[in-house]
Amino acid sequence: MSLLVTGSIAIDTVTTPFGVSENCLGGSAVYFSMAASFFTPVRLVGVIGSDCPFDLAKVFADRDVDLTGLEVRPKSKTFRWKGTYSDNLDDRTTDLLELNVLAEAPPKVPDEYKDSKYVFLANTAPALQLQLLEQIETGVFAAADTMNCWIENELDDLKQLLKKTDCLIINEDEARMLADEQNLIRAAKKVLDAGPSVVIIKKGESGSMMCSADGEGFILPAFPAAEVKDPTGAGDSFAGGLMGYLAQVGRTDSESLRTAIAYGTVTASFTIADFSLAGLASISKADIGSRFETLRKVTRF
Amino acid sequence: MSLLVTGSIAIDTVTTPFGVSENCLGGSAVYFSMAASFFTPVRLVGVIGSDCPFDLAKVFADRDVDLTGLEVRPKSKTFRWKGTYSDNLDDRTTDLLELNVLAEAPPKVPDEYKDSKYVFLANTAPALQLQLLEQIETGVFAAADTMNCWIENELDDLKQLLKKTDCLIINEDEARMLADEQNLIRAAKKVLDAGPSVVIIKKGESGSMMCSADGEGFILPAFPAAEVKDPTGAGDSFAGGLMGYLAQVGRTDSESLRTAIAYGTVTASFTIADFSLAGLASISKADIGSRFETLRKVTRF
C-alpha cells in the first residue's frame, strides 16, 4: 500500500571516531525513503534550496521513490547539520544547525499523494506535522517522530498531534521527558493515554520496545552489529523499514507490528555500518532478509 | 546437580530514589544463593565476622541452601557497603566500603563440597577466586564475575583465572575495559580468546547477551519491570537464576544456556522490585515461571 513520508533533506557533516563525512546527503526523509523502498513504493514530501548539490533522482534511481512531492525553492537554502559523535558513539554534539528552508512554510502534499494509506511524519515542529497530516485524506495509519525541543517548547501542539497519530516512534529519553516518568514501561503507558494506539521506543544499541493500547508488548534487542561507523540516520532507517513493511503487508495488527519492528531493526543495522547512505545503498533485500533471520535466531529461547 | 557459590556476605546500606534500607543483608553470595535456590540445592562458601546481625539459617529457612561452608570469624568484622543510586537508577556511588573479613584469607571449601559440578565465583580478587577454584575437583562448569578494579590492577591474575573458567559473567563496561574494545560484539570475542568458552555480558535495564566460542550468540532484553526500587543484587541474582537452572538440568549446551539466561533475567526482575532480599523472599517458583512465559511472549516475532 501507499506510504508517504514528510521530513528533512539535509546536507550533513558528520564526525565519528571512524572518520569525517563532509557535506554528505542526509535528512530524515532521505534515510526513511531509502530504508522503506526495500519494502514498498515511497512518496517523498520534502523541500530543498537551490544550493542542494545532490540529484535525488539519481540517489533513488532504481528504487521506487516518487519525488513528485520534492519541492525546490530557488531563493532558499537547504537544511544543514554538522555533528560530532563521542568515542563510544553514545552521545553526539551538534556543531552547526542551519534550519534554512525548514524554517519556512512546509511543502505542499501533491494531490496524487492524498490517498496515501500509511504516513510517517518525521521529526519537525508538531504544528507543521499537523498541517501536513491535515492535507491527507482520513483513514490513514499515521506514525510520527518528535524530539526534546518540541516536548519542551511546543507541548500543546504536540498533544494535538498525538490525538491524531496512531503510532509515536521516539527515543527513550524523549519518552521519559514526554511522560515525565523515568520508568520506560510506565512512560510508554502515559504516552498511550495521550492518544496513539501504539508507542515504539527506540533505545539505540539497546534495541527497541513497543507498547500498544490493547495491552500488547514487544521488546527487541538491536541487531548485534560488529561494524558501526556512523549512527546518523539509524532512527529514520528504523522507522523506514518498519513503516515500509507495514505498508507492504497492509496490516497493523500486533503480529505485523512485531515483524515490522524487526525489519526496522535490521535495516538500521546496515545504515550505521557506513557514513551517510553508503550502508543502505550497497545492500539488497536479500541482505535484509538474511539479517532478519539471524536476529530471530539470536533472540529465540 | 550440585552448585557451589563463593562470594560476599554483606551488611548494606542502600539509598535509592524510593527510600533507604539501612544495615540490611546483602552480598553476592547471598543474592546468588537465594536466586539459585529456586532451581537447585546451593552450597554456600562465605565468611562473616562476629558483628553480623543476620541469622543466615533463618534467612534461608525452607530453602535448600547448605551453610556448612559459612565461616564465622570471631575476631573479624563483616564486609560493609554503603551506596547511593542516582535518580534514574543508572549510576551509583559508593559512600563507604569496609572490606573487613574480605581482606583476610578466603574461606575454606568444605570437603563435602569438593565434588560440586557447578561453581560460581562471585566478584573478588582473581587470586582468591583461583585459590577457591583450586580447592574443588576438576570437571566442573566454573563461572566467574569480576569488576573494574581487578581489570585495572590485577590483570595477570585475572588472565590466569580466565584460562580456568568456562564462563565469564560481567557488565558491559567491564567487558569493554577487559577487551580494550568499545564494540561489545568484538569485545566479547576478545574475551573468548582469553579462555572461557562462554561470555555473558550484563547490560542492566538493556538486558544481556551471550557469545560462545562455538559461534553461538544470544541476546535477551531485560524483563519489562514497571516496579524498580533497588537494583542492588540484580547481577548476582541473574547469575544465581542462570547457574541454578544449569545445575538443575545438568547441561550447558547452547539451548540450556539460552533458557538459563532467561531464567536469570526474570529472577533478577524480582530482586530489583524491593530492597535487599525482600523481592526474592516474597515469591514462589511459579512467579518465576509466569514471568519466564511473559518474557518469551514479549520477545517473540
Instruction: Provide the residue-wise pLDDT of chain A in tens; the chain has 301 residues.
Output: 899 999 999 999 999 999 999 999 999 999 999 999 999 999 999 999 999 999 999 999 999 999 999 999 999 999 999 999 998 888 899 999 999 999 999 999 999 999 999 999 999 889 999 999 999 987 899 999 999 989 999 999 999 999 999 999 999 999 999 999 988 999 999 999 999 999 999 998 889 999 999 998 999 999 998 789 999 999 999 999 999 999 999 999 999 999 999 999 999 999 999 999 999 999 999 999 999 999 999 999 9
| Residues of chain A positioned with their CB less than 8 A from the CB of B225 | 185
Res A90: pLDDT: 83
Res A155: pLDDT: 96
How distant, in Å, are the alpha carbons of A176, A184, A185, A212, B48 from that of A190? 10, 10, 9, 11, 46
A140 vs chain B: nearest CA distance in angstroms? 25
Residue A104 is given by DSSP the state S
| Residues of chain B positioned with their CB less than 8 A from the CB of A296 | 301
Chain B residue nearest residue A211, CA to CA: B298
- B217 at A interface, C-beta within 8 A: yes
- B91 at A interface, C-beta within 8 A: no
**What integer best gives the mean pLDDT of chain B?**
95
Is a pLDDT exceeding 90 seen at residue B139?
Answer: no
Q: Could you tell me the pLDDT band of residue B142, with boundaries at 50, 70 and 90? A: very high
Q: Could you tell me the pLDDT band of residue B125, with boundaries at 50, 70 and 90? A: confident
Cβ separation A219–B221 shorter than 8 A: yes
| Residues of chain B positioned with their CB less than 8 A from the CB of A299 | 218-220, 299, 301
What are the pLDDT digits (tens) for B61-99? 999 999 999 999 999 999 999 999 998 888 899 999 999
| Nearest CB to B203; choose among A206, A228, A301 | A206
Predicted ipTM beyond 0.90: no
| Residues of chain B positioned with their CB less than 8 A from the CB of A262 | 301
Res A193: pLDDT: 97
Type of residue at B172: E
Chain B residue nearest residue A262, CA to CA: B301
| Nearest CB to B186; choose among A89, A226, A258 | A226
Which region, left, alpha or beta, applies to residue A36 given φ > 0 means left and ψ of -120 to 50 means alpha? alpha
B226 vs chain A: nearest CA distance in angstroms? 6
CATH number of the domain that residue B31 is part of: 3.40.1190.20
Res A17: pLDDT: 94
What are the pLDDT digits (tens) for A206-236? 899 999 999 989 999 999 987 899 999 999 9
Substitution target in A171, A211, A301 with the highest count of B β-carbons within 10 Å is A301
The strands making up B217-220's β-sheet, listed across from edge to edge, are: B65-73, B42-49, B3-6, B118-121, B141-144, B167-171, B198-202, B208-212, B217-220
User: CB pairs below 8 Å between A and B: how many?
Assistant: 77
Cβ separation B221–A225 shorter than 8 A: no
DSSP 3-state of A56: helix
Res B132: pLDDT: 93
- A296 at B interface, C-beta within 8 A: yes
Q: In this structure, are residues A47 and A73 in contact, taking their beta carbons and an 8 Å threshold?
A: yes
- Show Cβ contacts of residue A168 under 8 Å, excluding neighbours closer than 6 positions: A143, A144, A145, A146, A162, A191, A196, A198, A199, A200
A298 vs chain B: nearest CA distance in angstroms? 4
- Show Cβ contacts of residue A75 under 8 Å, excluding neighbours closer than 6 positions: A49, A50
Closest CA to A223 of A286, A279, A297, A171: A297
Q: In this structure, are residues A230 and A216 in contact, taking their beta carbons and an 8 Å threshold?
A: no
Res B183: pLDDT: 87
Number of domains in chain B: 1
Res A138: pLDDT: 78
Res B37: pLDDT: 98
Instruction: Point out which residues pair with B15 in neighbouring strands.
Output: B20, B84
| Residues of chain A positioned with their CB less than 8 A from the CB of B220 | 221, 299, 301
B34 vs chain A: nearest CA distance in angstroms? 24
d(CA A233, CA A239): 10
- Angle B58-B62-B67 from CA coordinates, rounded to 5°: 60
d(CA B115, CA B29): 19
- A186 at B interface, C-beta within 8 A: yes
Res A177: pLDDT: 96
| Residues of chain B positioned with their CB less than 8 A from the CB of A184 | 205, 224
Chain A residue nearest residue B186, CA to CA: A226
Cβ separation A299–B218 shorter than 8 A: yes
C-alpha cell at A154: 511546543
Please enumerate, as own/partner, the contacts of A285-291 that have beta carbons within 8 Å and a separation of 24 or more. Answer: A285/A38, A288/A38, A288/A241, A288/A263, A291/A223, A291/A266
Other CB atoms within 10 A of residue B32 CB: 32
Type of residue at B187: A
B6 vs chain A: nearest CA distance in angstroms? 29
B185 versus B4: the higher-pLDDT residue is B4
- A300 at B interface, C-beta within 8 A: yes
Cβ separation B220–A301 shorter than 8 A: yes
| Residues of chain B positioned with their CB less than 8 A from the CB of A292 | none
Give the domain extent around A20. 3-299
Res B28: pLDDT: 96
| Residues of chain A positioned with their CB less than 8 A from the CB of B301 | 218, 220, 258-259, 261-262, 296, 299
What are the pLDDT digits (tens) for B206-217? 899 999 999 989
